[in-house]
Amino acid sequence: MNIAVITGASSGMGKEFCSRLFKEEDARLGAPYDEIWVIARSEGKLTELASSLGKDRIRVIPLDLTKTESISVLKALLSEKNPSVRLLANCAGMGKNGAFAEQSVEDTHTAISLNCEALTAVTQTFLPYMTGHGEKRSATIINIASSAGFLPQPNFAVYAASKSYVISFSRALAEELRAKKITVTCICPGPVDTDFIKVSKSDPDATFTGFKAKFVTTTDKLIPASIKAAKKGKTMLVYGMGQKMLHLTSKIVPTRLVLFFERKMK
């Protein structure tokens, strides 16, 4: 049984991934999927997604990936079904905007746990089921990072640091798995118009404003570009001209100078 696995599937980029993979033949990476496993905390939203796409091929897995027992559930399910995992898209993530000193320890721990620990554990759990297909590319891992991970981000410190981890982890893993014909593609967008902004600012009516508003993209643009990059075997996709400029800046301009200009721009 060939499967695709999407975390954070109840909304935003994860939900868009599911929709693309289910509806569009050319969006699939590898052989057709017998099932798409969708993982998120909200069983209601996952069930609604399955109903809209087709219950017969969507396996709803309501789990909080920050909980250690959730990984045990996934291990048991994999052992029972013994699938061939053709795609793993790690889309689950969260972050809080604002001064680090003013954030709760609980929110900080959750962000690190979900963005770093859960992504790593999920990848390690599914990896043994990705090899041995005897094809040019046996499987694909897509990790959603962020251009925020290129440089330190005051007032978004934990989120940016966690995405820096995802970038470094993805690039190292891509090299490790190259000989096994497993592609690892790290996606680094700027602001994306999803519910993330409302959660990060703790404001149900929050929107992108000012300078950032000029660089906002949408999931229906980002996800097809992500799939295309993975098909080409790219290790990283920096999406958007502004993000490409930021990526270049992070390589050639000293970090302390970047932070100095950030202070002056406030």
Rounded Cα distance, 49 and 57, in Å:
12
List the domains of the chain with CATH numbers: 2-265 (3.40.50.720)
Torsion of CA 210, 202, 189, 24, to 10 degrees: -120
CB 78 within 8 A of CB 84: no
Give pLDDT, residue 205. 46
Per-residue pLDDT of the chain (266 residues; tens, 9 = 90+): 999 999 999 999 999 999 888 776 556 666 678 999 999 999 999 999 999 987 788 999 999 999 999 999 999 999 999 999 999 999 999 999 999 999 999 999 999 999 999 999 999 999 999 975 556 668 999 999 999 999 888 999 999 999 999 999 999 999 999 999 999 999 999 999 877 655 555 554 455 555 555 668 899 999 999 999 999 999 999 988 888 888 888 778 777 777 776 766 66
Give pLDDT, residue 53. 86
Give pLDDT, residue 241. 84
The sheet that has 84-90: what strands, in order across it?
58-62, 35-40, 2-7, 84-90, 139-144, 182-188, 236-238
R_g (Cα) of the chain, nearest Å: 18
Give pLDDT, residue 23. 72
Please report, in angstroms and rounded to a whole number, the separation of the first and last CA atoms in the chain.
54
From 14, 71, 79, select the one nearest 46 (Cα to Cα). Answer: 14
Give pLDDT, residue 57. 87
| Beta strand spans in 68-150 (E) | 84-90, 139-144
The DSSP bridge pattern shows strands 182-188 and 58-62 to be: unpaired
